[in-house]
Amino acid sequence: MLRLLVGALLLLTAINTRAQSREERARLDAVSVHLFLTKSGMLSPDVETIDGFGAWNFALQGKDIDGERFYSFLIKVRLTAPGGVFAKGPQAKVVVTHRRTKKVIKRERIADVYIGPYGWTIVPVWVADGACGPFEVVVTGNGKRIAKSLEAACGE
């Protein structure tokens, strides 16, 4: 009887551990791209939300941001999971590619992420010297892929 009880307890522990490890994976939820504005020292709104967005020779055009310049940008990667989880190991991958040359200018793996009790966290990925594109930002994680374009060009 004791052997049966111990065996059942070990089986339940193994099942619980396996289920818990599946839950402790972060899910890729959203991605946004923000330019670092050198005049104000602020980050722009997500470039996809700026009316009339355009960038030429480090200068921005768009509603409420004309005259600002940028040289770098920030990618915000939002990951979700049940609250209070430490998701061990690789969770997502960010790749920034120059669309014309196909050169990868930034590759970053997101791993070992704590997601607080509210159920989400935002992981920053900084791209320095990222003003002369155009660029494609691709974030993959847990079977999901999100792609963003950054239309920025420089004269030669």
Q: Is the pLDDT of residue 22 over 50?
A: no
Question: What is the reported pLDDT for 62?
Answer: 79
pLDDT digits (tens, 9 = 90+) for 106-149: 999 999 999 999 999 999 999 998 888 899 999 999 999 999 99
Whole-model pTM: value is 0.82
Strands across the sheet containing 120-127: 27-37, 70-80, 120-127
Q: Is the pLDDT of residue 20 over 50?
A: no
Average model confidence (pLDDT) across the chain: 86
CATH number of 25-153: 1.20.272, 1.20.120, 2.60.40, 3.40.30? 2.60.40
Q: Are 76 and 110 in contact (CB under 8 A)?
A: no
In whole angstroms, give the CA distance from residue 51 to residue 86. Answer: 38
The string of pLDDT tens digits covering residues 96-107 is 999 999 999 999
3-state class of 47 per DSSP? helix
**Which residue ranges make up each domain of the chain?**
25-153
